[in-house]
Structure 1
Amino acid sequence: MNSVFSKRSLSCAAVMAGVLIGASGLAATASAQTPVKLVLNWKYQGPQALFFVAEDKGYFKAEGLDVTIDQGEGSAASITKVATGAYDVGFGDVNALITMASKSPDEAPLAVFMMYNTPPFTIAVKADSPIRTAKDLEGKTIGGPANDGALRLFPAFTQVAGIDASKVAVTNMQANLREQMLQRGQVDGVFGYVNTIAFSAKSAGMNPDKDFRFINYGDYGMDLYSNAIVVSQAFAKQHGDAVKGFVRAINRATKDMIADPAGSVETVMKREPLLNKQVEIERTVATLKMEMNHPEIAKIGLGDVDGERLKRAIDMVVKANGLERTPEASAIFTDAYLPPLSERPTTVIN
């Protein structure tokens, strides 16, 4: 009786030991996943599908990353959120990063993957508005969300376009009221990204092609880069391999979105089912075509920057905003975490 009991006890103990060892192995595997807090540039929309593709297809997990994705409050705000340590990684405006790097170089994040390589910054006015050129903005009221990238760059735009900034009234508004306030004539123009305004208006039942006209910063010589993947200095120093893995995952997901924009939007619809799917598909295609399709990528690939172009952009932002210090290009962007050119897109969309 005792020997049988002893054998059974030993057998049970062995089983339990195996279970505990297995559990500890799983725990070790789980703990090996590096936690990453990511903040987007804005609310969930079609072009952000690449982040959700990376999550849903397991690209982050395959790189040993446990990524938490939060909505953003503007491209400029994302830079601040990463700089303060609230997030490890962000999707934000590199021009806001240039300003921060000039003022607070020890806190400024670092761009590691340039996503929007063509300037999307604009001021939208009503199609029947007397405002036809940038100079016509004088004496008018322009509104936008406080953290909007185009609003933040407006001081630079006024200098480049020859506008007397003292004659332009700037007001803040909630982003979800932007297009409606413009349509109702409550403001004379609104700041934003071309595709954000156009497709938000379309979602609200407007016809942006007929209702609005756009005064684009790029048409006045502001050949700036826009949104990039940025990481905090601390996270890059402590988790360099994780940054490389994150960028690899994003690169894979971006190629998937380029290959199948409509299918990629499904990942966004899972998270925001009330969105208009067709509008988000159109928004995504327009973003690929207009914001991610600079001719330079044929040579340097998506994700990288042209060094001389970036230097010119830095000088432009510094001069226009009266900044005291000009940051080095290496303090704004590094290619150290990029996959090889052979693995990155060199064409986006025809």
Structure 2
Amino acid sequence: MKLKQTLRFALAAAIGLAGAAALSAPASAQTKLKMVLNWKYQGPQGWFFLADDRGYFKAEGLEVTMDQGNGSGAAVPLVANGTYDVGFGDINALIELAAKKPDEAPVAVYVMYNQPPFTVAVKSDSPIKEPKDFVGKKLGGAANDGALKLFPALCKITKIDCSKVEITNMQPNLREQMLMQGQVDGVFGYVNTIRFSAKLIGVGDDKLRYINFGDYGMDLYSNAIIVSKKLVKDNPKAVAGLVRAINKGLIDSIKEPDASVAAVAKREPLIKTPVERERFDATLQDEMNHPEIAKIGVGNVDMERLKKSIDILVEANNLPRKPAVEEIFTPAFLPPVADLPKKVF
């Protein structure tokens, strides 16, 4: 309890340094921030690049360098160890780190994916229909995949024995091929990541089925903008400016999706723009469209729902402590609720 209170007070004190000015004034001129994305350049990252191209970071006195990532779970430790100031990563990986190493854990400041995208994809003719059918089968995923990291929690909730499921790690770019070639019976991932990666290799959605974690009581948040505690403490104005700029980029992207995807193509000309536009639309509809946004807006969270998510993960994974919601997410740097998107498509 002492540790939890100390962490809570430390974070509150750091945020308090920002005061009202942090939420209204731009950061000092040309503060340089390094940000790691969740994955390779894809359509749904357009809001970050549009914010950059339209000068929203610059207007906040920020120079943001955005690097491709290697999984939503991988972004969390990269921010924790100081390699990056900012990450677009899975809040559930953040909860796990906060439970194990609270002093190192970053904090989420803007939650974008408010519906659980976690899934196990199988071929459409697979005998696997529900989680109990995983027993005796071989499932594969990238080591840093968010869905794979949550598999023990799914096992506990659905009362199956994880030890009776063979898990193999694979390179992310081989996931869909290995599934279709029968080298594994199912693969972990985000629904739309798998769906559109499969489409890029000529596999139609009619060839796949999805065992979605959210259908089995795991109503979890997912990807969020996370920042280091050091950044919160040393430059809260930069954090507030970063969130404002990303929020503006998202609003523009919702209004102008073609421009948003074009901003991605500007960085990676080899993307298939029509497919990435479809991925963009599907991400808004399937991963960012929780009914709660009509009231609280994208970026914000329902604290009680987040608390239940923490409870699920701590219990299912036998984590050493239960982080307080304030350790995982703070609304202190959000724009006014009226300025957050209430509808995404």
Per the TM superposition, whether the score is higher than 0.5 is yes
Equivalent-residue separation in structure 2 for 1:83 and 1:98 (angstroms): 12
Tell me the CA shift for residue 32 of structure 1: 2.7
Please, what TM-score do these two structures have when normalized by structure 2?
0.91
One-letter amino acid of the counterpart of residue 50, structure 1: W
Partner of 2:165: 168
Q: Percent identity?
A: 63
Partner of 1:93: 90
Matched residue SS, 1:215: strand
Q: 1:195-225: CA deviations, max 9, x gaps?
A: 00000000111102x1111000000010000
- Give the one of 143, 150, 162 matched to 2:140: 143
Within the alignment, does 1:239 sit opposite 2:232 as a pair? no
Q: 1:241-285: CA deviations, max 9, x gaps?
A: 000000000000000111121221001111111111100000000
Partner of 2:215: 219
- Give the one of 270, 285, 292 matched to 1:289: 285
Equivalent-residue separation in structure 2 for 1:226 and 1:122 (angstroms): 12
Partner of 1:302: 298
Partner of 2:328: 332
* Structure 2 unaligned regions, length at least 5: 1-27
The number of aligned residues is 318
Partner of 2:16: none
Bigger Cα Rg: 1
Equivalent-residue separation in structure 2 for 1:172 and 1:268 (angstroms): 29
Q: Highest relative contact order (Cα 8 Å, sep 6+), 1 or 2?
A: 2
Matched residue SS, 1:337: coil
Equivalent-residue separation in structure 2 for 1:114 and 1:235 (angstroms): 18
Partner of 2:42: 45
Instruction: Supply the RMSD in Å over aligned alpha carbons.
Output: 0.8
Equivalent-residue separation in structure 2 for 1:90 and 1:32 (angstroms): 21
One-letter amino acid of the counterpart of residue 78, structure 1: A
Tell me the CA shift for residue 309 of structure 1: 0.2
- Give the one of 79, 83, 96 matched to 1:82: 79
The 5-angstrom pairing of residues 1-350 of structure 1 reads 32-208=29-205, 210-349=206-345
Runs ≥4 residues deviating over 2 A:
none
* Structure 1 unaligned regions, length at least 5: 1-30
Equivalent-residue separation in structure 2 for 1:188 and 1:168 (angstroms): 11
One-letter amino acid of the counterpart of residue 155, structure 1: P
Please, what TM-score do these two structures have when normalized by structure 1?
0.90
One-letter amino acid of the counterpart of residue 170, structure 2: M
Matched residue SS, 1:76: helix
Matched residue SS, 1:191: strand
Tell me the CA shift for residue 166 of structure 1: 1.0
Tell me the CA shift for residue 36 of structure 1: 0.3
One-letter amino acid of the counterpart of residue 193, structure 2: T
Equivalent-residue separation in structure 2 for 1:337 and 1:32 (angstroms): 19
Equivalent-residue separation in structure 1 for 2:147 and 2:257 (angstroms): 26
